[in-house]
Every structure is written in structure tokens, then in C-alpha cells.
Amino acid sequence: MLRNKVGIGVAMASVAILALSGCTTDGAEPSNTPSSDIALAGVAFNATDPFWITLMCGATQAAKEAGVALTWSAGNTAEVDEQQTNFDAALLKSPDAVILGASTPDQFSTQVEGIMAEGTPVIVVNGPIDPATGQKTIVSSQDNAEFIDFVIKDIGTSGTLGILGGIPGDIPALVNRWQPLVDQLATAAPGIKVLETQYDDFDRTKATTIAAAMITGNPDLKAIYASTGPEGEGAAAAVEEAGMIGKVKVYAYDATPSEVEALRNGTITALLAQPAGLIGAEGVNSALKYLADNADGGPVAAQAGADDTLPLAVLTRDNVDDPEKAGYIYAASCNA
């Protein structure tokens, strides 16, 4: 199809800076009226999770800065049926491009391949799909070596460690968050007993219940390692409710408002945060660049190279308020 549309490249260079500045705006509100007729569709899950709030906010800000429309179809769970419904609803809008955040890697590959063949580019954000049939994949780095090294040095040489692993299954993006720690502890601190990984479906309430059971069932529990923000919140809540702050440490991914508060008050020892807003912004940037470079339309080729990866940041009580870490702190809401 032809893409004789205007304003597609406006302000793309400024979007990365905007996304890293957080997901609130000061002063005049941006216009809700697109300056071009480009229409993007976004699909996400766990829409009440601050990570996804921040990612979607970064994308929405980027779209508004570029003068294009972006409409999100996002569910509040990670259920595959809900995601499928939202994906199908997004396609009914006949978007020029799709920004896709999938909870499982194998759900959408075939469908993405089909719509790409029909001329609609799909930019995958946060978690890769397998096979990688999208036009581009933008993710945070999987290199958590600095964080794992911090945990190993901090946790000591004895006691028990509990792990919250998100959702079960062979999902590399999740397994890679905790399995390297287990593997390295076996050599670096063989005296640490690692409990069987527990799963809570990214549900804060479930995570709190599971973490509480870890605390009561293991008197020598030294720490809980949480693979996502909702789990970090749940683990911190359980530790606080049990009166075990300072006795049971929490190490967690992400930097939700609740996690950051727990980091500041000492309930959480360290966080590994993703540049959520920038991931969303780069998703929009990539879609707009593709559309600008391929104005005549036609089938879209799947990505040929590696994923685009963005760096992580280890946050501690000492550095969480440093200005350069601001782009790693998630928002509770978005006023873009």
C-alpha cells in the first residue's frame, strides 16, 4: 500500500531524551490532535504494572511528539486469551504499524508473519517473539552480570534463598533473570540453599502470599530474589509484614514506585531497572523510521540481525536519586 503521509519524521531525534526524563509532563499539555494521518496500534499486557505504564507512556509521548496517533489495546493480566483479543482488536483498526508487547514468546509469531506479509510492520518491545518474525525487536539488555555479582557479594555464604520467577515455562527472557544466579551461587556460595523457584503470574498479591510462606517455612531464609516489579513489591510487603526488614533481604528487577520506596527505607537492598520509557519510545521511533523509509509499502521483511538492546541499571539506596538514574524509575500513572 502507498504511504503518502506527512510529518512522519518530526521530532524523532528528541524522543529518546523525552523518554528518559520520566513519564510526567510539566507546563503545557501536548496536543491530542495528530499532525499526520499515520496511525499506530500498541498491544500490551499487565497494564496496571508501572513497568508497562511507563513503557506505554514513553511510546505515547514519542507518538505525540512526532504528531502521529497511537492507540493502545492493553489488558490487566498476562493471560494469553486476553492478549489475543487485544491483538485482534488492534488489527481491526488497520494500523500503519503495530507496537507489540507479548507475555509469551510463541503466541504471535505466525500472526505477525502474516500481517507483515500484507505490509504492516510490527515492532516487538520488551520480550522477543520466537521465531522472530517482527520487523525489529527492542528489549532491555539480558546482561545482568553486574546485579548478580552484587547479590553474590551481598548475600553471604550460608542460609536459604527464595526465588520468584514470574510465570512458569521456557521463557528465556524470564529464566535468564534468575537462573544465572542459581548457577553461580552453586560455585561461589555452595552453603546457600536455593529453594525451588515459585511462580505468581506477575501478581503482587500472590507474590506476597508466596514470599510470606517462604519466610515462615524457612527460619534461615536469607533473601528473596524477585524477577519482576510486582514480585519485588510482593516480597517487600511480606518482609515488612513479618517484621523481617534487615533480616531477610530483597533483590528485585524493575523500579516501580513501591519498590523504590522500599529501596529507600531499606526493605529492598537493590533493584535492577530497565529503561521502560525509552523502550516504548524506541518502538515508536523504529515504526516511524520504517514507514518513512518504505513509503511505497509492500511486504515487510522480518528482522535479519540481533535485537536492539538497551542497558540496565543497578539501583541502590545510595544512587537511586542520582540524576542519571531518573530514566530508570517507573511511573504510577501517565499524563501524556
Given this chain, do its domains 12-141+275-311 and 145-273 carry the same CATH topology?
yes
Mean predicted confidence (pLDDT) in 104-128? 94
User: Which architecture characterizes domain 12-141+275-311 according to CATH?
Assistant: 3-Layer(aba) Sandwich (3.40)
Cα(9)–Cα(144) distance, integer angstroms: 34
Domain map of the chain by residue range? 12-141+275-311, 145-273
- Determine which of 29-33, 157-161, 250-254 has the lowest per-residue pLDDT on average: 29-33
Mean predicted confidence (pLDDT) in 243-251? 98
DSSP 279-331: HHHHHHHHHHHHHHHTTT--PPPPP-SPPEEE--EEEETTTTTSGGGGGGSPP
Q: Whose CA is closest to 227, among 210, 247, 215, 240?
A: 210
**From residue 137, how far is each of 97, 111, 287 by CA, in Å?**
14, 16, 11
CATH number of 145-273: 3.40.50.2300
Structure confidence at residue 170 as a pLDDT band (50, 70, 90): confident
Question: Does residue 155 contact residue 189 with C-beta atoms inside 8 Å?
Answer: yes
Q: Whose CA is closest to 162, among 213, 224, 229, 218?
A: 224
- Residues above pLDDT 70, as percent of the chain: 90
Q: Within 10 A of 200 (CB to CB), how many other CB atoms are there?
A: 24
Question: Does residue 69 contact residue 290 with C-beta atoms inside 8 Å?
Answer: no
**Is residue 27 scored above 70 in pLDDT?**
no
Q: Within 10 A of 31 (CB to CB), how many other CB atoms are there?
A: 9
